[in-house]
Structures are given as structure tokens and as C-alpha cells.
Chains A and B, each alone.
Chain A
């Protein structure tokens, strides 16, 4: 069977891509949230040795690829991998593997449980057809290790700081360590009966955890906590930094409602091969956000 008789689009749906070398393919494997257990790793090594060239490539999105697999061996390799619970990834115009950092499970700075969320997102959205490739990343805090802002949908752990007057010793440190310079000190505030108060510029605040975790007296405490949802990030030939869809989403259910609505909106409005972010630019961010929120409200 030659390359010409194999449907390349169908192979792309199951993570197999033709290489430059005739008759050889790349097998793209899925690692949800970047996780593979040792049994899966061992099987990947066996298959790479048996059907590839004894090596793997680690992708920028936490994937594992086996290169140099002959087209006649693709199905056998796929079945041997599947037997150990290794699933194929995805190529082409569809939702790709979900990437995630370790998050609150093991990271000191993690605000959210990223692994659990990445598994849920995988179950709900992986391989859904979209006008162009669609990438989702979950990141536990503002360190942004999985680069939420470069993905079509980025979900980042977020806290909303709240100033507690009784705990404040007016040391002023928060003004210095706020990465965005969002904190300011104000003189007498009769509302609270103190001679000073500290406030946050909500427009510039990125809901990171620096003030709430570093204030020596806990005067900056956590008010609301949840997720910042970003839309429309992309790299490639025309990079675009993601836009904030909603700064603090408190419930996980609402995150999924917004992701549902975003993907559904993109399917209806995106041109073929147009990335989500470029569709947003073409139509206008505020209009897009309004339509996504309307759609999410109808689905809730």
C-alpha cells in the first residue's frame, strides 16, 4: 500500500503524520497533562525500538513522538501501544492534547489542581473538530509554566487579594514586590477608621499570588480564588497573545461552560484554517466575548 492510498487526513485524526522520507510516518502520542506512567514509558521504548529507530522526540506540548515508522507497521505499532494504555495524539484541525503543569498537587506556588482539570478537558474536548488546530493549556499560577497565553484557551490559577486593615503594619513591602506595580498606599480612610489603607488597581492586577503569599503579616489575604480564562493565543507565522475572557471564574463548572461556548462559537464563526485568535481579531474581541458569555449563559 503506497502513501497515496492512505488517507492522510484520516491518519492525522489519529496522530500520524507523513515524514519527508517517503513511506515513513511520525506517530504522535498523547500524554494528558504531561503524564505517563512507567508501564506506558516502557512500552513506548519497546515500540520505538521495534518499529522506529530506537529513539523518541519530546514535543513542546508535552507529547512523545516516534519517528521513522514505516507505513506498513503503523497499525501494529498503534495496537501495541494501546495495549499498554498509550493513546495516539492528534494532528490537523481539531482539539489537541491538553497540556498542564504539576499545579497545586506538588508545586508550592500552585493555586489550582491542574492535572484533574486537564483530564476532564481531555475527556470533554480532545479531537473535537475545529476550523483549525485548537490548543488548550492549564497552568497553576502566574508563573505560567505551560504558557496559557500562547494557547487558544488558557486556564490559569488566580486569586483576588483582599486587604485586611487590622493585620497591616504599613511596612510598604507590597508596593515594592507587586510585579505589576498594582498596589498603592492611600492616606486616612474614614471608612475603616485607620490612618492609611492599601488598594489594588484591578485593571493591572494579574491575580498572581505574590502579595497574598509574601505579605509578612497576612494583611493581603485571599478573597476570591479560581481561574483566569484566556482565549485566542497562538504562535506560528502570526503570533497573538491571548485575551482575558474572564479574570476570576470561581467554579470549575463555569470554566467548562466557557470552554464549551468558546469552541462552539469558533466552529460557527471561524474560517477554515483560521486560528481562533485571528477570528477574534477579525470580528472584534468585545463582540466575541459578549457572544461567548451569551452562549454560556444559555447552556448553564
Chain B
């Protein structure tokens, strides 16, 4: 039994349409740029690497989600309304900007020592699990609003915790501790894959 399958049609109707545009997008974009410029001025390259790597994994996940919609009829998560600009079927510009900041913000509360243990667990792994759990639980409340839909009955907080949010934060915190060269290669490779996928599937084939 699908839950609110009409949401897919509603999302596709506003996909990359300028009609729902609101001016606050400009302010939010400026504030996001400010956050990164602030960190660049402090030479906080590790934090920036954490932020950008999470952002790239977020785009991977959104592209895969949109491809699932193309091949099966419905995405795992869908945003049918409530956004000023729907980038892909499951992501509005606001969500995307939020994820642009999330990895950077959360990296600031990481302990200095990457090997330090908390409750017998490596702190990086523990923080990744806790943050992933917070985001997955938040989605339980979001699906109660009309702006976020899990169409498939088997999709929910646990699968999103395991397959989406844990990779987000594990990659982000792994990148935070890496050498600068590894950080650069990891982020630029993911960015390259995302750009190719977007150009191919969204721009040329118009699948997503």
C-alpha cells in the first residue's frame, strides 16, 4: 500500500520550476556563503572538508533517489511542496543549503583527538551514529507535514538512518581527519561524479 503516491506527481509538476520562488532564497544563499567565507578566513580547512564532503554525499543520495523515481515510479523520499525551488524530486533548495552547512557545523563539536574513545566507542563513529540518528528521527516529524512524503511503506526512519545518514556523517568525519591531498581527491571525485550524473540524467536524458 503506497502512502500518498500523488505526491510524486505534485513534485514533478514543480521540478525546477521558477513559479514557487521566494526571495528568502537569496538571503539563505548569502548566509551559506558567509559561513564558508568565515571558515576560509580562519583557515579551517578540515571543517570545510567535512562540510563539502557531506554535501557531495548528499547530492549522490539525491541523484540516486531521483533515479529510483524514474525507474520505479516513486522516489524513496519526495518533496511535493513547501520549497521555493525543487532541485530534484526529493530535495528543495532549502534542504540542500542546510546540508551544505550541516557537516561543517557538526565537525566543530568533534573532539581534537580522532582516536579518543567515548563510552568505549571511537568518538568519530559515535558522533556519526548520534548525528545520523538525530536526522533520521527528525524525518519522523517531517513526514507528518505535507512537505515530505515516504511513498513506499517499507521506507522509513531506520532505512534512512542506515543507508543515508550514516554514510553522510562517516564520510564527513573521515574527510575531516584526512590529509589535505586525500580530502581534495575525495571531494573533487565525488563532485565530478555528481556533475556528470546531473548533466547526463537531468540535463540530457531528462530522467530526473
Does B associate with A? Answer: no
